[in-house]
Amino acid sequence: MKNGYSFSQRLVHWLTLLVIIVVYLAIENRGLFERGSDERALVMLTHFYAGFTILILAIIRLVLRMTNSVAPIDPLPPVWLQRSAMLGHVLLYAFLLAMPIIGLVMLNAKGGSLDLFGVSLPSLWPKDPEMAEQLEELHESIGKFGYVLIGLHAVVALVHHHVLKDNTLTRMTRGR
Ligand code: HEM
Ligand code: HEM
């Protein structure tokens, strides 16, 4: 059993942070460009592709999680904190999987599709404006919840490091 995350787990964790920043920056700044302009299309494509990358990274992470073992945090936090961390991580994984899938289905329901290396990804849903509208609301709500979830996650990591003075953060920065 190793006392920190493996190099590949750390790489994928911090890559996810970088890509999620691109996902949010792109979508939050789409209003800077006029609807129908090339710039707006580019910003939206950036959101779609970065969002899709999150899905791929999440799947890789889950496989790495299942094939790597990490020793408990040292010193061990109280049980309630360990349980909350587990819940937080499950919610983060659910967020990383659900957002891109909802986004893709929404895009299909709007009548659009995503091209990968010139090949259109198979449509997950037929054109359905009503469904697209409902999914957009869901995508938006979970997107806002994501800010809270990720913010809380980062703050808790810093509390572990500076207040509880355990090795939680260094397991994810320096690794084993
Ligand atoms: C982790 C991944 C993702 C996150 C965190 C995310 C987040 C967001 C957020 C915050 C919005 C703005 C909602 C609003 O204020 O109206 C949005 C809109 C949208 N997203 Fe995503 N998204 C992700 C992945 C995707 C993917 C993979 C696609 C499609 C391939 C997608 C398609 C869309 C579309 C079509 C909109 C509506 C944009 C508009 O009509 O102006 N998203 N997303
Ligand atoms: C400044 C930002 C961030 C910091 C400081 C941070 C820090 C950490 C630390 C220290 C851990 C290890 C926790 C433990 O061993 O119990 C961790 C795990 C984790 N982080 Fe982050 N993180 C950040 C951003 C993110 C983002 C953006 C996501 C995804 C949206 C994310 C998702 C996760 C997940 C799912 C785990 C659990 C890993 C596992 O056990 O499989 N983190 N993070």
Provide the domain limits for residue 62. 7-173
Residue 141, in any domain of the structure: yes
Q: Please check whether residue 142 is in contact with residue 98, taking contact to mean a CB–CB distance below 8 angstroms.
A: yes
User: Would you say residue 85 lies in a domain?
Assistant: yes
Q: Give CA–CA dist 118/121, Å, rounded.
A: 9
Q: Which of 32, 15, 25, 31 is nearest to 47 (CA)?
A: 25
Q: Kindly give the distance from the C-alpha atom of residue 35 to the centroid of ligand 2, in angstroms, as a whole number.
A: 36
- From the CB of residue 104, how many other CB atoms can be counted at a distance below 10 Å? 22
Residue 160 CA: nearest ligand 2 atom is: 10
Q: Residue 2 and residue 91: Cα distance in Å, rounded?
A: 25
Q: So what's the pLDDT on residue 3? A: 77
Ligand nearest to the CA of 94: 2
CATH code for position 102: 1.20.950
Helices 129-159, 7-28: crossing angle, 10 deg rounding: 130
Q: Who has greater pLDDT, 19 or 118?
A: 19
pLDDT at 81 exceeding the cut of 80: yes
Task: Please indicate, yes or no, if residue 1 is contained in any of the structural domains.
Answer: no
pLDDT at 89 over 90: yes
Instruction: Answer yes or no: is pLDDT of 176 > 70.
Output: no
Tokens of 89: 């991580």
User: Does the pLDDT at position 76 exceed 70?
Assistant: yes
pLDDT, greater one: 1 or 127: 127
Please tell me what DSSP assigns to residue 163.
I
Q: In this structure, is residue 19 part of a structural domain?
A: yes
Q: Is 34 within the bounds of a domain?
A: yes
Residue 2 lies in a domain: no
Within a domain: residue 117? Answer: yes
Q: Name the domain count of the chain.
A: 1
C-alpha 171 – ligand 1 centre gap (Å): 31
Instruction: Specify the ligand 2 atom closest to the Cα of 93.
Output: 35
Taking the CA of residue 149 as reference, the ligand 2 atom at the shortest distance is 30
β-strand partners of 115: 120
Tell me, what's the pLDDT at 92?
98
pLDDT over 70 at 82, yes or no:
yes
